[in-house]
Amino acid sequence: EPEVTQTPSHQVTQMGQEVILRCVPISNHLYFYWYRQILGQKVEFLVSFYNNEISEKSEIFDDQFSVERPDGSNFTLKIRSTKLEDSAMYFCASSVGAPSYNEQFFGPGTRLTVL
Amino acid sequence: GNSVTQMEGPVTLSEEAFLTINCTYTATGYPSLFWYVQYPGEGLQLLLKATKADDKGSNKGFEATYRKETTSFHLEKGSVQVSDSAVYFCALNPKETSGSRLTFGEGTQLTVNP
């Protein structure tokens, strides 16, 4: 069964460093998303991406964050200068069609630890 | 804005016990409602969904009914198994807007003991 994959499973970085989290969505999916979950808190939406551009972003997704689909298979989330409060589990998701009516399939997550 | 509130966990049950995990929501219009499950070391998986009032979603013995009058979508299972141990998330998607985002509840950790 097709699945969303994410690498690495755990990333440790120093405050101020740039990190790139990688995701491979399901191959025929057209919509891509990033969510995060700070330990003990809710899963929060960050951004959605369709047709090579951001279709919606939350107030969390500020100028420190960017997303890219550099080739036909990968979808990346970059944090330019990490802060302690960026420590969280980051989930990638994808859907075959418009999110209002199509299931979002989630990856296993990348745990980001900022020291 | 939209929000989802789940009963506080964790929940610990014995095998074959009845399960209820409460979920209430706040949203404008008529959102779609979901239950996602996260097994240890895995991503979020859709368990069931309902897209309009009075719809009942069901899967793997779990059920939830979309109740607009009480703005609720409680998850139930008549007889839980050890393999049901996981974290359960209630979520909504506001169909009327661009609808990209899922809004999640806090998650409820369920542990089923043999």
Chain A residues in contact with B89 by the CB 8 A cut-off are: 43
Chains A–B, number of C-beta pairs less than 8 Å apart: 63
**CB distance B93 to B101 below 8 Å:** yes
pLDDT value of residue A45: 94
Nearest to A58 among B36, B42, B101 (CB): B101
* Per-residue pLDDT reduced to its tens digit, A43-65: 999 999 999 999 999 999 999 99
In chain B, which residue's Cα lies nearest the Cα of A36?
A: B104
Instruction: Compute how many other C-beta atoms are within 10 angstroms of the C-beta atom of residue A15.
Output: 13
C-alpha to C-alpha distances, A78 to A4, A16, A32, nearest whole angstrom: 18, 13, 15
Q: A103 pLDDT band (50/70/90 cuts)?
A: confident
In chain A, which residue's Cα lies nearest the Cα of B106?
A: A42
Its sign, for the CA torsion A61, B86, B93, B23, is: negative
Chain A residues in contact with B46 by the CB 8 A cut-off are: 103-105
